[in-house]
């Protein structure tokens, strides 16, 4: 019963956010600021993590492929793994931990210090001013961060495979080029990243917006964002893969 | 009484048989009271009696389980958030902690609602913001963030934001809490002056009896989930010994506090 009620509240909240996004005036300044907070400030963690994952994939992939004499396919293995799964999923998990939790904590603190009630009493809709730009920025940033993660991963795999393990550079790139299909793989990856962006954006803002107005409430909401956001990303990853084979 | 009708011209805010529970805990039960126009009303009561709840109900920030709440001629119970915004344009609220936006400077906190709701030029906005800040005795704080202000300055900045758009009704939630005696008297004088100069109906929640006795025209005492109303003097002279004690003990406690002349230590 409580689960159904919670789903109903999330649905109503989603409708409020969607309405706020299309209601004038557009909050472009707030959106750009949030895009900076969520996107630009996540660049370092995304680049470093992407490169590290690509390097591990390169190493593990090479050690496995070399047993079958197929080490020339390393580019395809690294590329497909990153584009279809690891890029969007790990980006979403990292963004949930870094930007999602920060979003929840910020909105939650505004709830606890009555800043959102203060806006309501000024006849200013806090969903329109505070929540919608954050959710929208999360949705916009996720595919871009995912793409960056994949590029860094491919570079990491290249460094390990080509520079360290001696795989031919031309083979690495050509196997990658031949294996990756733009519609099935690249667009599928973008679709996943967009869905994860919607999930993390809504979960992080909802948790902050509905948290108990105490410091313990803000802490619990922040933890909940990371847990619920991460599990939701993994579950939806399976659902998207099972339904569309992406 | 149909929605939209004005209950009484001289009572811009009225509660009609309002019941409010938080979970299973009753706060207001069949609660009725009226707040006179252009006067300072103080809502008194012990901790947890429902003083802040009264103000939040008037602002439509929470909804009661039963009853009607008339604010400037509109019953705010059951209104949608969009409808409530129309009512809130007639209200100003000074929150206990200020509720200023932490990420904006004091100037931006005041200019922001004007940019949202008016077509004033930036110059006109600046003039109005500075005039309002001067009216509450704040100068040279434009560029400061709320976190850089003292408790009393935060209260005054919050009051400036609340009166900036000339509301019909001003709600003040515990304006004296956490302040030293000098700041209490300064805020008290400020509220009285704003009431006299602008004729704004003020509803102040407080448990500070000495200030209430000095500034209130009308007192609503929250007692056993109900309202007991009257002038401060009437309530202080109540035949009910518990109510009279509520006033007199606190006045007495404050009254016996003579100025302390600490002898100067000479070495």
Closest CA to A95 of A21, A145, A31: A145
Q: Residue A242 belongs to what H/E stretch?
A: helix A215-244
pLDDT at B267: 34
pLDDT at B65: 96
Q: Which residue do the tokens 């410091």 mark? A: A215
- Give the nearest partner residue to A114 out of B81, B92, B95, using CB atoms: B95
Whether the full predicted model's pTM is greater than 0.95, yes or no, is no
Contact B95 A125 (CB under 8 A): no
Compute the nearest-CA separation of B178 from chain A (Å).
16
- Two tokens, residue A218: 């803000």
Contact A122 B113 (CB under 8 A): yes
pLDDT in tens, B147-193: 999 988 999 999 999 999 899 999 999 999 888 888 888 889 989 99
Judging contacts by C-beta atoms under 8 Å, the chain A residues touching residue B84 are 120
pLDDT in tens, B64-101: 999 999 999 999 999 999 999 999 999 999 999 999 99
The CB density around residue B14, as the number of other CB atoms within 10 Å, is 18
pLDDT at residue B1 tops 80: no
pLDDT band at B208 (very low <50, low <70, confident <90, very high): confident
- Give the nearest partner residue to B101 out of A115, A123, A125, using CB atoms: A115
pLDDT in tens, B215-229: 999 999 998 889 999
| pLDDT tens by residue, chain A, 246 residues | 788 998 899 999 999 999 999 999 999 999 999 999 999 999 999 999 999 999 999 999 999 999 998 999 999 999 999 999 999 999 999 999 999 999 999 999 999 999 999 999 999 999 999 999 999 999 999 999 999 999 999 999 999 999 999 999 999 999 999 999 998 899 999 999 999 999 999 999 999 999 999 999 999 999 999 999 999 999 999 999 998 776
ipTM field? 0.86
Compute the nearest-CA separation of B136 from chain A (Å).
19
pLDDT at residue B259 tops 50: no
pLDDT at B181: 86
Share of chain B above pLDDT 90, in %: 65
The CB density around residue B198, as the number of other CB atoms within 10 Å, is 15
pLDDT at B249: 63
pLDDT at B7: 43
Identify whether the C-beta of residue A34 lies closer than 8 Å to the C-beta of residue A129: no
Average pLDDT, rounded, for chain B: 87
In terms of CA atoms, which chain B residue is nearest residue A129?
B116
Least confident of A192-196, A210-214, B58-62, B239-243: B239-243
Contact B117 A114 (CB under 8 A): no
Q: Which domains does chain B have, with CATH numbers?
A: 13-90+167-254 (3.40.50.300)
pLDDT at B216: 94
Give the N- to C-terminal CA distance of chain B in Å, as an integer.
76
- Give the nearest partner residue to A117 out of B85, B99, B117, using CB atoms: B99
Report the alpha-carbon angle A63-A69-A74, nearest 5. Answer: 55
Judging contacts by C-beta atoms under 8 Å, the chain A residues touching residue B56 are 117
Structural domain spans, chain A: 2-244
Contact A115 B100 (CB under 8 A): yes
In terms of CA atoms, which chain A residue is nearest residue B115?
A124
pLDDT at B245: 81
Q: How do beta strands B66-71 and B13-22 pair?
A: antiparallel
Closest CA to A90 of A35, A51, A36, A49: A49
Judging contacts by C-beta atoms under 8 Å, the chain A residues touching residue B88 are 120-123
Identify whether the C-beta of residue A38 lies closer than 8 Å to the C-beta of residue A95: yes
How far is the C-alpha of B73 from the C-alpha of B70, rounded, in Å? 6
pLDDT at residue B261 tops 50: no
What are the residues of chain A with a beta carbon less than 8 Å away from any beta carbon of chain B?
109-110, 113-115, 117-125
Per-residue DSSP letter, A164: I
pLDDT at A246: 67
Give the contacts of A234 (CB within 8 A, at least 6 positions apart): A89
Contact A124 B96 (CB under 8 A): no
């Amino acid at each position: 019963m409580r689960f159904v009620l919670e789903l109903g509240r999330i649905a109503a909240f989603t409708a409020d956010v969607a309405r706020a996004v299309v209601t004038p005036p557009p909050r472009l300044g707030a959106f750009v600021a949030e895009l900076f907070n969520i996107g630009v400030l996540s660049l370092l963690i995304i680049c470093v993590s992407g490169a590290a994952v690509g390097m591990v994939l390169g190493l593990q992939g090479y050690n496995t492929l070399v047993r079958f004499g197929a080490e020339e396919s390393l580019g395809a293995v690294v590329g497909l793994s990153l584009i279809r799964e690891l890029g969007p999923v790990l980006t979403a998990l990292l963004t949930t931990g870094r930007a999602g939790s920060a979003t929840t904590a910020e909105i939650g603190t505004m709830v606890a210090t009555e800043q959102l009630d203060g806006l309501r009493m000024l006849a200013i809709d806090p969903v329109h001013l505070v929540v919608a730009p954050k959710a929208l920025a999360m949705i916009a940033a996720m595919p871009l961060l995912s793409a960056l993660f994949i590029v860094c991963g491919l570079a990491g795999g290249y460094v390990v495979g080509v520079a360290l393990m001696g795989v031919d550079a031309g083979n690495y790139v050509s196997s990658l080029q031949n294996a990756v299909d733009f519609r099935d793989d690249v667009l599928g990856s973008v679709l996943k990243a967009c869905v994860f962006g919607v999930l993390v954006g809504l979960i992080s803002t909802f948790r902050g917006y509905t948290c108990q107005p105490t410091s313990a409430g803000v802490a619990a909401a922040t933890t909940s964002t990371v847990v619920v956001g991460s599990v939701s990303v993994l579950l939806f990853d399976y659902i998207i893969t099972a339904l569309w084979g992406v | 009484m149909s929605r939209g009708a004005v209950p009484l011209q001289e009572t811009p805010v009225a509660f009609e048989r309002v019941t409010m529970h938080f979970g299973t805990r009753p706060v207001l039960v069949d609660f009725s009271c009226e707040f006179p126009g252009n006067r300072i009303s103080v809502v008194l009561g012990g901790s947890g009696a429902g003083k802040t709840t009264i103000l939040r109900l008037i602002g439509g920030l929470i909804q009661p389980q039963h009853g009607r709440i008339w604010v400037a001629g509109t019953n705010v119970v059951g209104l949608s958030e969009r409808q409530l915004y129309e009512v809130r344009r007639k209200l100003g609220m000074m929150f206990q902690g200020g509720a200023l936006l932490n990420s904006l400077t004091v100037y931006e906190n005041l200019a922001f609602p004007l940019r949202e709701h008016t077509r004033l030029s930036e110059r006109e906005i600046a003039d109005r913001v500075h005039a309002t800040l001067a009216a509450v005795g704040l100068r040279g704080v434009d560029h400061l963030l709320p976190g850089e202000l003292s408790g009393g300055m935060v209260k005054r900045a919050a009051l400036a934001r609340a009166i900036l758009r000339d509301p019909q009704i001003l709600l003040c939630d515990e304006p004296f809490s956490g302040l030293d005696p000098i700041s209490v008297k300064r805020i008290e004088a400020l509220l009285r002056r704003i009431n006299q100069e602008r004729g704004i109906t003020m509803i102040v929640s407080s448990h500070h009896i000495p200030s209430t006795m000095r500034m209130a025209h009308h007192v609503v005492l929250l007692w056993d989930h109900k309202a007991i109303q009257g002038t401060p003097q009437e309530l202080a002279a109540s035949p009910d010994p518990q109510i009279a004690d509520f006033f007199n003990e606190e006045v007495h406690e404050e009254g016996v506090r003579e100025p302390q002349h600490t002898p100067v230590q000479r070495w």
